[in-house]
């Protein structure tokens, strides 16, 4: 299919999505929840077809030399598929944000004004690797009353098609509007360019994947972009930290799942506890195969266990068993380092000093700031949101884990009994 045919096909999907969005906006919470449960049933019903499709993607990925981490993100199994279906049912059980009254007041002239949550409209999602995102995005958009156009990566094309077809088939049996969930079947770059330029049909576009993908979408987009940039996450071990707790938190944040955006990438340690703490955590890291790249003081303490960090290490999201380590003079030094090098995702302080913890929390300019909690909890499900569509490092309009509320806008509804505004010299 040539570029003009791809463009025309995607633009037609945009027009269809706009019509679907109008139909979705008037569905009741009960109707949407019924559709969601039917979508979960559709996934279970089509399990064998989805797993066969996923097998094709895994075989292609192995032939193309995908890393083990990428293959793990891509791989589905009956247990993972059941987890996706159960996640859909969890979203069905969550409160519906649409129609929530955010504020209301009456003016002196008798006009009443309400600020009400409403769907955004049509949401475009461009993502890589993870086929579960097809379900997460479709489900969250549906619950929040939005139509969605999905464009996954080539490495998961068969899985994505099978999942989208199962969701649509299941949902239609319970009244899902036609074209409410559409998956672009093309994996070439032209489809990204077309989506980024179709501001007539897309109200917002959300890229989720590597830095190159996100920067490409940002440079091309003619509509608002909600970005999920790098997760250069930090943990600062304060001089008053419980060091055993600090070891557990740092270990979890780095090694539990190093290939995800909320994994720890840089460890900062107060100079007064560095000689005691660094050998403790280094022993854990060495056992688990973590490469340590440290500043001069870290290397002095750890010797051959660490290599010298470069300037680039402080600005790197490794997504691997590699960590940068720096000894700092105190909390202000740690905060300055984080605000300089962080991607604005998630940061943690480990300390027993509550005043110092509050100072850290209020002075750090990131979406999520933790006190004595692993950054791995920066996650929509862990926040009680159900599934998430991503973790935004933007400040407008969504920040942090994006779930149902972040997929809504608001509308002012004004009611009166015949009031008019007469223009005069002062208005």
pLDDT in tens, 185-197: 998 889 999 999 9
Q: How confident is the model at residue 67 (pLDDT cuts 50, 70, 90)?
A: confident
Domain co-membership, 82 together with 135: yes
- Has residue 183 got a pLDDT over 50? yes
79-95 pLDDT, tens digit per residue, is 999 999 999 999 999 99
Domain co-membership, 246 together with 321: yes
| pLDDT for res 384 | 85
Distances (CA, A) of 120 to 136, 397, 406: 17, 12, 9
| pLDDT for res 423 | 59
With respect to residue 423, please indicate whether it lies within any of the assigned structural domains: no
Domain co-membership, 111 together with 146: yes
Domain co-membership, 131 together with 241: no
- Mean pLDDT within 161-180: 95
Q: 207: domain CATH number?
A: 3.40.605.10
Domain co-membership, 239 together with 350: yes
Q: How confident is the model at residue 322 (pLDDT cuts 50, 70, 90)?
A: very high
Domain co-membership, 255 together with 348: yes
380-416 pLDDT, tens digit per residue, is 889 988 778 889 988 888 899 999 999 999 999 999 9
**For residues 273 and 340, what is the distance between their CA atoms, to the nearest angstrom?**
23
Domain co-membership, 128 together with 46: yes
Domain co-membership, 244 together with 174: no
With respect to residue 425, please indicate whether it lies within any of the assigned structural domains: no
- Mean pLDDT within 102-116: 97
With respect to residue 421, please indicate whether it lies within any of the assigned structural domains: no
Domain co-membership, 293 together with 317: yes
With respect to residue 419, please indicate whether it lies within any of the assigned structural domains: no
With respect to residue 79, please indicate whether it lies within any of the assigned structural domains: yes
| pLDDT for res 212 | 85
**For residues 85 and 41, what is the distance between their CA atoms, to the nearest angstrom?**
7
The tally of domains found in the chain comes to 2
| pLDDT for res 425 | 46
Domain co-membership, 34 together with 121: yes
Domain co-membership, 19 together with 132: yes
| pLDDT for res 396 | 84
Sorted by sequence, the CB contacts under 8 Å of residue 336 that are 6+ apart come out as none
Q: 300: domain CATH number?
A: 3.40.309.10
Q: Which residue is associated with the tokens 């299919």?
A: 1
Domain co-membership, 45 together with 161: yes
Quote the percentage of the chain above a pLDDT of 90: 86
Structural domain span for residue 175: 3-227+394-413
């Amino acid at each position: 299919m040539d570029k003009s045919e791809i463009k025309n096909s995607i633009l037609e999907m945009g027009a269809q999505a706009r019509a679907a969005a109008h139909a979705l906006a008037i569905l009741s919470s009960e109707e949407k929840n019924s559709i969601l449960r039917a979508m979960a049933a559709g996934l279970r019903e089509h399990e064998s077809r989805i797993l066969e499709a996923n097998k094709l993607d895994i075989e292609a990925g192995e032939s193309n030399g995908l890393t083990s981490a990428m293959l793990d993100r891509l791989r589905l199994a009956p247990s993972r598929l059941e987890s996706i279906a159960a996640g859909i049912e969890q979203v069905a059980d969550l409160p519906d944000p649409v129609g929530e009254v955010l504020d209301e007041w009456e003016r002196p002239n008798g006009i009443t004004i309400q600020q009400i949550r409403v769907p955004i409209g049509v949401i475009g999602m461009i993502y890589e690797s993870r086929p579960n995102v097809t379900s997460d995005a479709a489900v969250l958009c549906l619950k929040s009353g939005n139509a969605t156009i999905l464009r996954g990566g080539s490495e998961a094309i068969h899985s994505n098609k099978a999942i989208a077809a199962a969701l649509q088939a299941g949902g239609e049996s319970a009244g899902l509007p036609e074209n409410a969930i559409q998956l672009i079947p093309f994996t070439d770059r032209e489809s990204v360019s077309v989506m980024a330029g179709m501001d007539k049909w897309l109200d917002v576009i959300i890229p989720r994947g590597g830095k190159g993908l996100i920067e490409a979408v940002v440079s091309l987009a003619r509509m608002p972009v909600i970005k999920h940039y790098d997760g250069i996450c930090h943990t600062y071990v304060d001089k008053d930290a419980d060091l055993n707790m600090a070891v557990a938190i740092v270990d979890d944040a780095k090694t539990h799942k190093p290939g995800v955006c909320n994994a720890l990438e840089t460890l900062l340690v107060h100079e007064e506890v560095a000689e005691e703490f660094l050998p403790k955590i280094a022993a854990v890291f060495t056992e688990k195969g973590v490469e340590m790249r440290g500043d001069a003081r870290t290397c002095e303490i750890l010797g051959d266990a660490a290599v010298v960090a470069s300037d680039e290490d402080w600005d790197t999201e490794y997504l691997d068993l590699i960590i940068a380590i720096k000894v700092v003079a105190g909390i202000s030094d740690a905060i300055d380092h984080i605000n300089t090098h962080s991607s604005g995702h998630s940061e943690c302080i480990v300390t027993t000093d509550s005043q110092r913890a509050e100072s850290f929390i209020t002075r750090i300019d990131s979406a999520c700031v933790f006190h004595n909690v692993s950054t791995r909890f920066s996650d929509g499900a862990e926040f009680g949101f159900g599934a998430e569509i991503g973790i935004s490092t933007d400040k407008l309009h969504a920040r942090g884990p994006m779930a149902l509320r972040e997929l809504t806008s608001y509308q002012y509804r004004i009611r009166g009994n015949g009031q008019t505004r007469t223009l005069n010299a002062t208005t």
